[in-house]
Structure 1
Amino acid sequence: MKIDAKLVEKLENLSMLEIADKEKMAENLAEIVEFVEMLHEIDTNEIEATFSTLNNPTPLREDEVKQSDVIKDVLSHAPKSKDDYFIVPKIIE
């Protein structure tokens, strides 16, 4: 994959970020792509996976309702609250 100024500019627009040094960014991205392409050359067909969630799935727990005073504790620090909600100034007309 060719990383050039046009691609960096497109990435800049998509990410909504301003890239100050587009030339340096293009060089860095080219190095990353080159490294990933080298990884594709490695033959891993004979190598067994060292980790899989299929053999030992995550144990599930019962979903139990528990009483908690977290809401009251959090709202106690709010400048204004009513009926378990924050009261904030209106910002949209």
Structure 2
Amino acid sequence: MNVDERLLEKLEKLGMIEIAPDKKEAIKKDLDEILGFVENISELNLEDFDKESTQKITPLREDTKHNDPSIAQKVLKNAPEAREGYFIVPKIIE
């Protein structure tokens, strides 16, 4: 696939971005290179690929409840600011 001016304009519109005219050639070249990599991947023969190796499951441990209040105190001790058992963080939403 070749990235031409028309496709680049469509990508600008879809991405709601504006590409500076002096950058368009470099971006077309980069996109061509990326698409070349994708084409190489799609040409891989995966027929003989061991399907079992992709379906392994990570073993999980049982969840356990800890009733030791000192754990929370140890964690909160490292916080920049804590009060009444909670982390105090700056307000980020007005």
Q: Shorter-normalised TM-score: what interval?
A: 0.5 to 0.7
Q: Aligned partners of 1:42 and 1:87: how far apart in 2?
A: 49
Provide the aligned C-alpha RMSD in A. Answer: 3.2
In structure 2, the CA distance between the partners of 1:9 and 1:89, relative to structure 1 (3 Å rule), is: closer
| Count of matched residue positions in the alignment of Structure 1 and Structure 2 | 83
Question: Cα–Cα, structure 1 residues 38 and 85, in superposed 2: closer, same or farther, change >3 Å?
Answer: closer
2:12 alignment counterpart? 9
8 Å contact kept, 1:3–1:30: yes
Q: Identity percentage over the alignment?
A: 34
In the alignment, what sits opposite 1:86? 88
Partner deviation per Cα, 1:13-37 (whole Å, 9 max, x = no partner): 2xx6x75523211211111112312
Change (3 A) 1:25 1:11: farther
The TM-score, its normalising length taken from structure 1, stands at 0.58
> When you count helix as a share of all residues, which structure comes out higher?
2
Distance in 1, matches of 2:58 and 2:42, equals 30
Equivalent residue for 2:38, pick from 16, 36, 39: 36
Q: Which has the higher contact order (CA 8 A, sep 6+)?
A: 2
Structure 2 residue aligned with 1:60: 60
Q: Which whole-Å CA distance do the structure 2 matches of 1:90 and 1:60 have between them?
A: 35
Matched, 1:70 2:75: yes
Say whether the 8 Å CA contact 2:76–2:87 is kept in structure 1.
no
Say whether the 8 Å CA contact 1:8–1:25 is kept in structure 2: no
Unaligned regions of 5+ residues in structure 2, if any?
Answer: none
Change (3 A) 1:12 1:23: farther
